[in-house]
């Protein structure tokens, strides 16, 4: 069974640009969540999607957005990039929303903003 | 607001030693607690999941305990090996309508041959 797949793995963007990251969950998983990881702040929750609807959102500005498609694949978008957006963005999937099941993470997308 | 603290931030031990990593959380209204491992430059690998009604979970050389009332969890690693070197993170999932995970900042473990 394939794991959580994130693309691209590495990317470099310039301040002011926008970026879209993609996540394909484990087959059969319907919940996808996104996290930002930085050395200073650690892992912080961005948002969670289930059945194409955003169910929870973390404390990030509106420049951070996401969506989920009918096949459970998800994308997140960051507009007007700032230097502080440089981070590892991790996607995770689980079978359902708020279940007691294990959550599985992808390898992440490394974003560098210059 | 839930806060998760992991102590120590870094730990270096000789191979073969048994060790304990600590995780504490401020809000005991949790749904479950999960321990993860992260290797440098990689994503997170789930190690153990403990439901709020459980006291402990075991997998191989790993044993995780949960004391919800005191807001503490420990991850016990028996007979440590150099391959156990990684950052270990704990995360709590709260109950209610908000299911997000709140992570600690991790413990960087180095096992020396």
Unique residue bearing structure tokens 């998800």: A74
A to B CB pairs, distance under 8 Å: 54
Please give the Cα distance from B12 to A2 (Å, whole number): 34
Q: Which of residues 43-62 of B touch A (CB under 8 A)?
A: 43-46, 49, 51
pLDDT digit string (tens) for A36-79? 999 889 999 999 999 999 988 899 999 999 999 999 999 999 99
Which three-class secondary structure state does DSSP give residue A33? Answer: strand
pLDDT digit string (tens) for A10-22? 999 999 999 999 9
Q: Could you tell me if A108 and A89 are in contact, meaning their C-beta atoms sit under 8 angstroms apart?
A: yes
Q: Dig out the tokens for A52 from the structure.
A: 């194409």
Q: Could you tell me if B92 and B102 are in contact, meaning their C-beta atoms sit under 8 angstroms apart?
A: yes
Tell if the CB–CB gap between A102 and B105 is shorter than 8 Å.
Answer: no
Which three-class secondary structure state does DSSP give residue B18? Answer: coil
Contact residues for B22 (Cβ-Cβ < 8 A; gap 6+): B6, B7, B8, B72, B73, B74, B107
pLDDT digit string (tens) for A86-108? 999 999 998 876 656 788 999 99
User: Nearest-5° angle of CA B50, CA B56, CA B59?
Assistant: 85
pLDDT digit string (tens) for B36-76? 999 988 899 999 999 989 999 999 999 999 999 999 999 99
C-alpha torsion B91→A41→A74→A106, nearest 10:
-60
> Chain B residues with CB inside 8 Å of A106's CB?
43
């Amino acid at each position: 069974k394939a794991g959580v797949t994130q693309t691209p793995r590495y990317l470099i963007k310039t301040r002011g640009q926008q970026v879209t990251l993609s996540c394909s969950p484990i087959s059969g998983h319907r919940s996808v969540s996104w996290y930002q990881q930085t050395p200073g702040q650690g892992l912080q929750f961005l948002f969670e999607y289930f059945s194409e609807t955003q169910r929870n959102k973390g404390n990030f500005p509106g420049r951070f957005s996401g969506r989920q498609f009918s096949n459970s694949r998800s994308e997140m978008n960051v507009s007007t990039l700032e230097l502080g957006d440089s981070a590892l963005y991790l996607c995770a999937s689980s079978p359902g929303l708020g279940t007691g099941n294990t959550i599985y993470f992808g390898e992440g997308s490394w974003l560098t903003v210059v | 607001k839930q806060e998760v603290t992991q102590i120590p931030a870094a730990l270096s031990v000789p191979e073969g030693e048994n060790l304990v990593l600590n995780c504490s959380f401020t809000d005991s209204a949790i749904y479950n607690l999960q321990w993860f491992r992260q290797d440098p430059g990689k994503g997170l690998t789930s190690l153990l999941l403990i439901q709020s009604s459980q006291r402990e979970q075991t997998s191989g050389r790993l044993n995780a305990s949960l004391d919800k009332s005191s807001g503490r969890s420990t991850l016990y690693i028996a007979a440590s090996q150099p391959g156990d070197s990684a950052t270990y993170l704990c995360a709590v999932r709260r109950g209610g309508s908000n299911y997000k995970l709140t992570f600690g900042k991790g413990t960087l473990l180095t096992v020396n041959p």
